[in-house]
Amino acid sequence: MTYFKNTELIPEDPILCIPPLFAADQRPNKVNLGVGAYRDAEGHPLVLTSVQKAEVRLLEQNLNNEYLPMDGDPGFIEESLKLAMGEDSPHRSRVYASQTVGGSGALKIAGDFLKEQFPNSTLYLSHPSWSNHRHIFSRCGFELGHYPYSHNHTLDFEEMCDAIKMMKNGDLILFHACCHNPTGIDPTFDQWKIISTLVKEKGLFPIFDMAYQGFSGGLDQDAAVIRHFADEGHEMALTISHSKNFGLYGERIGLLAFFVDSADTVKKLASQIKSTVRGIYSSPPAHGARIVKTILQSPELTLEWKEELVNMRDRIIEMRKALVAELYSTKSSIDFSFIQNQRGLFSMTGLNREQVSLLRAEHGIYMPSNGRMNIAGVTSKNVKTVAEAFNEVL
Ligand code: LMR
């Protein structure tokens, strides 16, 4: 007898199913190109030295472990917002922000709240998008639509704009602020300007997911679209993850910000978001917020962190080049030069589901079945193996 006889077994998460499979693989030359987490030149997880130093400072302060407010640590919120909006943003008084449980937590809180505000609207995602976008927003009850995004490894700008023109007033549209996951392709700033105008003309509500600030052109450049939309007067939501740019994956540290029309609306939103948080997890965890705040409030640690961020970005760019060069030298039948032009952790290799499973079975190379690869998993030691394996399965 079970109460769960009608409970169905559902497929595993396409990305988070990979780490245990990879860990169980006994082959010494296995390569993990799966979950989007940075790896150092040896292929290992990286703990930033700025983070280590911040943790020492925190330990020395002998802090207590009281609950944070429902919307988190105010010092962290200010610092994280400054990274996104720039110092002294003229928009600060029309922004409400809450610390969240990672970027996923920000999306979930935003989704639950927005579904109440826009009960009959469609929420549009790029096609493709991060698989968890669909998962989170459909669980919030949204009807989802998709807009074309990439074709032949480049941005499908015309088609994307045409699709936006077909959306209804009051629909919602999610954009990736930089380092689009999974394609690694972003609109140029001029294209963002056109998108902003279209979004305004159509009366859409934009949501920006920014999980990779600093991994494309730099901290300011990667947030330029947010600042532009703010300057253009949009009301919008912004979800931020500090998993990648601070290497704080397991600390679950993120931010949700709403840009609205006035300080009066900010107050109402604050009450709503706090109530949403209270109904799910009451208040966020403290440690990740304290680390980020400690770094960003210290000029010396901020400088060190920025250098570490540049190093992570540069290593990925270097590995993009190395992989393309290796693919050329192993006489790939496919032009992989696009990998070099893309930014952030990911590129869509174009490998199909069967080729991905062959890579795993024959070569111990792991990536999600849609063929997305985490470039940070490539090192100068494994790049040749990866290129040869790609060629073999093709
Ligand atoms: C990814 O896309 O691999 C990361 O954002 C990790 C995740 O939660 O999916």
DSSP-derived pairing of the beta strands 365-366 and 31-32: parallel
Letter for the amino acid at 64? N
Q: Ligand 1 test: best mutation among 35, 104, 345, most atoms within 8 Å of CB?
A: 35
pLDDT at 329: 86
Cβ–ligand 1 distance for 137 under 6 Å, the answer: no
Q: What is the pLDDT of residues 254-297, one digit of tens each?
A: 999 999 999 999 999 999 999 999 999 999 999 999 999 999 99
Residues 6+ apart with CB under 8 A from 150: 128, 156, 183, 185, 348
pLDDT at 349: 96
pLDDT at 161 over 90: yes
Which position has the token pair 């952790």? Answer: 345
User: How far is the centre of ligand 1, averaged over its atoms, from the C-alpha of 369 (Å)?
Assistant: 14
Closest C-alpha residue for ligand 1 atom 2: 36
Please give the Cα distance from 234 to 228 (Å, whole number). Answer: 9
Pick the catalytic residue from 108, 244, 274, 293. Answer: 244
Q: What number does the ligand 1 atom closest to the CA of 368 have?
A: 3
Q: What is the pLDDT of residues 93-128, one digit of tens each?
A: 999 999 999 999 999 999 999 999 999 999 999 999
Band of residue 184 on the pLDDT scale cut at 50, 70, 90: very high
Which DSSP state fits 209?
A: E
Helix ranges (DSSP H) in 62-188: 74-85, 102-117, 131-139, 157-165
Cβ–ligand 1 distance for 130 under 6 Å, the answer: yes
Percent of the chain topping pLDDT 70: 100
pLDDT at 333: 74
Helix ranges (DSSP H) in 167-281: 189-202, 219-222, 224-231, 263-278
Please give the Cα distance from 33 to 376 (Å, whole number). Answer: 7
Domain with CATH 3.40.640.10 in the chain: 67-297
Pick the catalytic residue from 130, 192, 274, 293. Answer: 130
Annotated catalytic, 244? yes
Q: Under CATH, which number does the domain 67-297 receive? A: 3.40.640.10
Burial class (CB in 10 A: 0-12, 13-18, 19+), 317: middle
DSSP element (H, E) containing 253 = strand 253-259
Domain with CATH 3.90.1150.10 in the chain: 17-47+313-393
Average pLDDT over residues 29-47: 97
CATH for 17-47+313-393, among 3.40.50.970, 3.90.1150.10, 3.30.930.10, 3.40.800.20? 3.90.1150.10
Q: Report the candidate in 383, 44, 68, 87 with the shortest Cα–Cα distance to residue 253.
A: 68
pLDDT at 332 over 90: no
Average pLDDT, the chain: 97
Which position has the token pair 């990536």? Answer: 367
Closest C-alpha residue for ligand 1 atom 4: 36
Q: What number does the ligand 1 atom closest to the CA of 211 have?
A: 5
pLDDT at 209: 98
Q: How far is CA 258 from CA 33, 107, 203, 341, 394, in A?
A: 34, 12, 16, 32, 45
User: How far is the centre of ligand 1, averaged over its atoms, from the C-alpha of 270 (Å)?
Assistant: 28
Percent of the chain topping pLDDT 90: 97
pLDDT at 335: 87
Q: What number does the ligand 1 atom closest to the CA of 13 have?
A: 9
Please give the Cα distance from 99 to 106 (Å, whole number). Answer: 8
Average pLDDT over residues 194-213: 98
Band of residue 63 on the pLDDT scale cut at 50, 70, 90: very high
Annotated catalytic, 305? no
Q: Ligand 1 test: best mutation among 132, 178, 251, most atoms within 8 Å of CB?
A: 132
**Residues 87-92: contacts with CB under 8 Å, at least 24 apart:** 89/227, 89/230, 91/230, 91/231, 91/259
Please give the Cα distance from 195 to 175 (Å, whole number). Answer: 10
Q: What number does the ligand 1 atom closest to the CA of 104 have?
A: 8
∠ Cα 62 65 71 (to 5°): 125
Please give the Cα distance from 31 to 148 (Å, whole number). Answer: 31
Which DSSP state fits 12?
A: P
pLDDT at 374: 98
Average pLDDT over residues 347-364: 97
Which position has the token pair 């936006």? Answer: 164
Average pLDDT over residues 157-186: 98
Is the pTM for the entire model greater than 0.85? yes
